[in-house]
Amino acid sequence: MAAIETRRSMRAFLPTPVPRSLIEEILRVAARAPSGTNTQPWQVHVLSGAAKERLSARILAAHNDPAELSKHREEYAYYPVEWASPYIDRRRKVGWDLYGLLGLAKTDRAGMHAQHGRNYRFFDAPVGLMFTIDRVMQQGSWLDYGMFLQNIMIAARGHGLHTCPQAAFTQFHRLIAEELSLPPTQMLVCGMALGYADPNAIENTLQTERAAVAEFTRFLED
């Protein structure tokens, strides 16, 4: 339970390397996630060193060029097209809580843009993970994928590591596919930063709220 309760999305990491053997162990354990008829739909691409830097540089160049940025769109809808309460309220709160910690005012568009851009450096984590799925797989396999991703994050906590799952990368799926030499049959699901969290970074003090069990649960007994 401690690993689950201490899992948070960290947005600043130390440069401390993560041994390949440890990454492999985390992925081995995470692969015990259930999947429909044992299809195991996940594919993982582990980036570090120069490979990670090349990908980050290419995405950041697009992110910081308005004309180039306008050419990139997500391949699938992660968020609702039309928002409703309480989801939009929670989204806004976590955003403003983070920006508040960083001293970014609502009018500071440049500061927000720069902070969002830190996603593409994996928040300086030494390891970046990219996750893809075969396009033949359907909605059920995406449910399976979520359990696999959660297993990675919990297993990482068991080894003193932290993570940040990142849907932000999906906007640049074409660039990522080129950099990783992905076949056209593979679709980007998301990215993830993996490493040792910076204990002195103010953004890592963010604690997101969770609804009480009574708010999302019905017990039917009669």
> What ranges do the domains of the chain cover?
2-206
Alpha helix positions (H), the chain: 2-5, 20-30, 49-63, 66-69, 87-101, 109-117, 139-158, 173-179, 213-216
Query: What is the predicted pLDDT for the residue at 81?
Result: 93
Band of the pLDDT at 202, cuts 50, 70, 90? very high
Model pTM score: 0.96
The arithmetic mean of pLDDT across residues 126-138, rounded, is: 98
The arithmetic mean of pLDDT across residues 129-151, rounded, is: 98
Q: What are the tokens at 74?
A: 């997500």
The arithmetic mean of pLDDT across residues 51-63, rounded, is: 98
Tell me the fold of 2-206: NADH Oxidase (3.40.109)
Whole-number Å distance between alpha carbons of 97 and 203: 9
Write out pLDDT tens, residues 107-117. 999 999 999 99
Whole-number Å distance between alpha carbons of 158 and 165: 17
Query: What is the predicted pLDDT for the residue at 108?
Result: 96
Band of the pLDDT at 121, cuts 50, 70, 90? very high
Band of the pLDDT at 173, cuts 50, 70, 90? very high
The arithmetic mean of pLDDT across residues 153-182, rounded, is: 98
Query: What is the predicted pLDDT for the residue at 125?
Result: 98
Cα torsion 88, 140, 4, 1: sign:
positive
The arithmetic mean of pLDDT across residues 16-22, rounded, is: 98
Q: Is 88 left (phi over 0), alpha (psi -120 to 50) or beta?
A: alpha
Count of Cβ atoms closer than 10 Å to residue 12 Cβ? 20
Whole-number Å distance between alpha carbons of 150 and 211: 19
Query: What is the predicted pLDDT for the residue at 140?
Result: 98
Q: Which residue carries 């401390």 as its tokens?
A: 16
pLDDT above 90 as % of the chain: 99
The arithmetic mean of pLDDT across residues 48-56, rounded, is: 98
> 13 - beta bridge partners?
197
The arithmetic mean of pLDDT across residues 84-106, rounded, is: 96
Residue length, the chain? Answer: 222
